[in-house]
Structure 1
Amino acid sequence: MFTIPGPGKYVREVELVKEIGAYVRSFGNSALMIGGKTALSVVESTITASLEKEGIENQGFVWYGGECSWSKVEELRTIVQDRKPEVLVAVGGGKAIDTVKAVAFAENLPLLAVPTIAATCAPATPIAIMYDDEGTFIEISHRSKAPNVVLVDTKVISAAPYRFLAAGIGDTLAKWFESSASVQKSQPTALNQSAVRLAEGLYQLLLEKGPSAIETIKQGNVDQAVNDVIDSIILISGSVSGYGGDDCRTAAAHAIYSGLTIFPEVHNTYHGEIVAFGILSQLVLEGKSEETIRELIAYYQKVELPYTLADMAITELSPEDWDRLGVVTVGIEDMDNMPFAVTPEMVVKAIQGADEIGRKVNQP
């Protein structure tokens, strides 16, 4: 048995970025920061001051490239090999952090993750979700390093648009629906059963605290509900995958997310937002009642998650588009984790069914 349950250390505090130099010093004397453009601009001056205070050589701030793709990973490896930092610092959202996780794995370097939004569990997992340079999903890669330390600055996260936190809630809700489906194909063990119970607890916590956390973040504030939701999205959600391993992986909701990324119009919708719609589609696929789906949509309305295709800017698909979506989606490895065989036709009917229920909810 082998599992990587999560990062080596997780720290969440207000204005934590001010202390990053001390955490870097535990692993080396020079650091290169790689991340998103906006994310780097938010923390660059603070990180610079902290590194200087600790006597850490600052190797610079580099944009990750805009997509978590293998070509971007190779470009960044060239920069790393040229500058020779002793520590890498990943800054930003899921794609930026996953990209640097792949670079750190390839270059065998210590890695600190500084998420500037709480939108996915990427900072706390050992896998990277890879895309092509245009943003279409390619694979889930294990050529990725779990961060040695995750540093969560709640002041930074609370200053980000609340939509990111809503997307994180969507992504984390999927842990319960997908793990409870995928575990059915496996023999019960202490690890996978614990993972499913953890996922169910996450689901209940988000139902209880999610709407309050969104309202608090909208006001630019942080309270215990916000802290709990952030920890759930980043750390505890990642731990479900860490403990459950291949028995509790992503399933139809994420496969449908990946399938929908073939349409360029959806690329302005965040990962967790698309996954949230994928959950509704998975419930249709599983034959759940319309009442059950409507109950979840009622929660989506409270936290502002999409529940129709139009909410994600998909307004019209041709028969050829639907056919391609079905074929692509069943080809995603996540779909293999469902406890029954899924055909392209089943996927199309599930997505159309979820969209129809969502549109009926909107009718007066």
Structure 2
Amino acid sequence: MNVTIGPGQYVRKAGVLSEVGNYIEKFGKTAVLIGGKTSLDVVEGKLTESLSAHGISLIQSLWYGGESSRSNVDSLIEQLSSYSYDVLIVAGGGKAIDTVKSVAYFVNKPLVVIPTIAATCAAATPIWIRYSDEGEFVEIGRDSKAPDFVIVDSSIILHAPVRYLIAGIGDTLAKWFETKCSIKKATPTILNQTAIAIASQLYQTLLQEGKQAVTSIETQKLTRELEDIIDAIILVSGSVSGYGGDDCRTAAAHAIYSGLTIFPEVHDTYHGEIVAFGILAQLCMEGVDEEEVKSLIHYYQEVGLPYTLKQMGITSLTEKQWKQLGEVTVTIEDMANMPFEVTPEMVVTSVMKADKIGNEIN
């Protein structure tokens, strides 16, 4: 048995960016920072100041490339070969973090992650989601390193656009709906039973505190509810995948997300937003009562998640495109976790039904 539950260490508090040198100095005296352009602007000044105060030199700052693609991983590895450094630091969202997790795997260096948004659990998992340079899903990559340290400054999350947090809520909701579905085909063990218990608690926390967390960002007031949801999205949700492993990680909701990425129209919609719609389609695929789907949509309306294709930029699909969506989606690794065989026709029917229910509520 080989289980990776999450990062080696996790710290979350307001203003912690000014203290990062305290945590990073144990990894060495030289560092390279990689991240998204906005994230580099947000963190580099305070990060450099704190590192310098602890005798650590930030010898280079690099853009990750804009997409978690193999070509960007290879490009960064080549750029890093010109430097001598002790530790990698990544700042940004899920795609930047995933890219550098793969880079760290190949260069075999300690990895410190500074999430600047709370939109996925990328900081707490040992896998990376690989896309093409154009943003289409390619695969779940295992050539990736679990972060040694995750440092979350909740004041940075507070000042990030609220839509990122909303997307994070959508991605984290999927832990419950996908885990309780995929676990049906697994032999019960202490690990996967722990995963389902954590997923259930996550779901309850999102229902109880999700709206307050969104309001916290909208009103720019740091609250306990916001910090709970930050921890839920970034850390706790990753532990569901850690404990559940292949028994109960992801299922149809994420497969439908990946399938929808073949359409350029959705590339301006965030990962967790599309996953949230995927949950609705998965519920339709499972044959749950329509009222359950509507109840979840009412929660989506409360926090601001999309629940129709139009809200994600897809106004119409041709018969050929529907066929392509079904055929691509069933090939996604996540779909194999469903407790029954899924056909392309089932995917199309479920997506259409979820969209129809959403539009009727509108």
Q: Indicate whether the TM-score tops 0.5.
A: yes
* Structure 1 residue 281: Cα displacement: 0.2
Say which SS state the counterpart of residue 247 (structure 2) adopts.
helix
2:169 aligned partner, one-letter code: I
Is 1:126 matched up with 2:126? yes
2:212 aligned partner, one-letter code: S
* Partner Cα distance (1:223, 1:105) in 2: 36
Equivalent in the alignment of 2:76: 76
Equivalent in the alignment of 2:15: 15
Q: How far does the alpha carbon of each residue in 1:309-364 deviate from its partner, in whole angstroms, 9 at most, with x for none? A: 000000010001000000000010100000000000000000000000000000xx
2:115 aligned partner, one-letter code: P
Is 1:214 matched up with 2:214? yes
* Partner Cα distance (1:271, 1:84) in 2: 35
Equivalent in the alignment of 1:341: 341
Please list, as runs of the form range in 1=range in 2, the aligned pairs for 1:1-364 lying within 5 A after superposition: 1-362=1-362
1:149 aligned partner, one-letter code: F
Q: How far does the alpha carbon of each residue in 1:171-218 deviate from its partner, in whole angstroms, 9 at most, with x for none? A: 000000001111111100000011001101100110000011101111
Cα pair 1:31 1:88 within 8 Å, conserved: yes
Q: Using structure 2 for the length normalisation, give the TM-score.
A: 0.99
* Partner Cα distance (2:99, 2:122) in 1: 10
* Structure 1 residue 84: Cα displacement: 2.3
1:112 aligned partner, one-letter code: V
2:182 aligned partner, one-letter code: S
* Partner Cα distance (1:85, 1:282) in 2: 45
* Partner Cα distance (2:220, 2:137) in 1: 33
* Structure 1 residue 269: Cα displacement: 0.3
What number of residue pairs does the alignment pair up?
Answer: 362
Say which SS state the counterpart of residue 250 (structure 2) adopts.
coil
Cα pair 1:195 1:244 within 8 Å, conserved: yes
* Structure 1 residue 54: Cα displacement: 1.1
Say which SS state the counterpart of residue 114 (structure 2) adopts.
strand
1:167 aligned partner, one-letter code: A
1:64 aligned partner, one-letter code: Y
* Partner Cα distance (2:285, 2:293) in 1: 11
* Partner Cα distance (1:341, 1:169) in 2: 28
Q: How far does the alpha carbon of each residue in 1:53-97 deviate from its partner, in whole angstroms, 9 at most, with x for none? A: 111111221100000001100000011111122100010000000
* Partner Cα distance (1:247, 1:84) in 2: 40
RMSD of aligned C-alpha atoms? 0.6
Q: Using structure 1 for the length normalisation, give the TM-score.
A: 0.99
* Partner Cα distance (2:112, 2:208) in 1: 31
* Partner Cα distance (1:105, 1:271) in 2: 24
Say which SS state the counterpart of residue 26 (structure 1) adopts.
helix
Say which SS state the counterpart of residue 147 (structure 1) adopts.
coil
Q: How far does the alpha carbon of each residue in 1:105-158 deviate from its partner, in whole angstroms, 9 at most, with x for none? A: 011100000000000000011010000100000000111111000000001010
* Partner Cα distance (2:219, 2:33) in 1: 30
Cα pair 1:24 1:31 within 8 Å, conserved: no
* Structure 1 residue 13: Cα displacement: 0.8
* Structure 1 residue 22: Cα displacement: 2.1
* Partner Cα distance (2:14, 2:227) in 1: 10
User: Structure 2: which 5+ residue stretches go unaligned?
Assistant: none
* Partner Cα distance (1:132, 1:313) in 2: 20
User: Structure 1: which 5+ residue stretches go unaligned?
Assistant: none
